[in-house]
Amino acid sequence: MFFYKKLLLMEKQVIEINWIKMEVDMRHVKVVDKYWIWDNVKVLIQEYSDTYKTYIWCICWFDNFEGRPNINIAYFDIWYSSVDVKFIDYNKDTEKVQIAPLWEYDISIKKSEVLDKFESEIDKKKIEIKEIERKVQYFEKHFGRYFENPKK
């Protein structure tokens, strides 16, 4: 009997919200997360039926659509040699995606690492541009004559 009373006492707690004390039945309490623009969050995305991947970044903006408010989240998709910024529209119909607050100790990447990966991507694209420019020069040199003197 003593154990049962103690259990009942544990289920009810006094909490204070805005200087108002209330007794709350903890069995029926619902946790409500509060997010702000630019809050850091973890994004859990289901990739396949049984695999999940966690990403980090932040909430960019809120869209207050009538009947379907939307949270726009940008996140890093980081690979060994590249980084990509992707966006998710998170609303009541979003499936296979969950968000949670990101704590300081959760951050496993440094700003310098991300910037280095972006620089690497820029260098790769510059090489691609130079290759295309060489192809254009080759085309103009060897095939340009065909277009200058069309045979009738």
User: Do the beta carbons of residue 31 and residue 45 sit within 8 Å?
Assistant: no
- What is residue 135's predicted lDDT score, i.e. its pLDDT? 94
- What is residue 126's predicted lDDT score, i.e. its pLDDT? 97
Tell me which of 6 and 133 has the higher pLDDT: 133
- 41 closest CA partner among 75, 91, 86: 75
Of the listed ranges 66-70, 91-95, 144-148, the least confidently predicted one is 144-148
CA distances from 143 to 5, 11, 40, 89, 131 (A): 93, 83, 54, 48, 17
- 37 closest CA partner among 69, 12, 61: 61
Q: Residue 44: CA atoms inside 13 Å, Cβ hemisphere, count?
A: 9
Report d(CA 80, CA 77) in Å as an integer: 10
Per-residue pLDDT, averaged over 88-110, amounts to 82
For the entire predicted model, the pTM comes to 0.56
Report d(CA 36, CA 149) in Å as an integer: 65
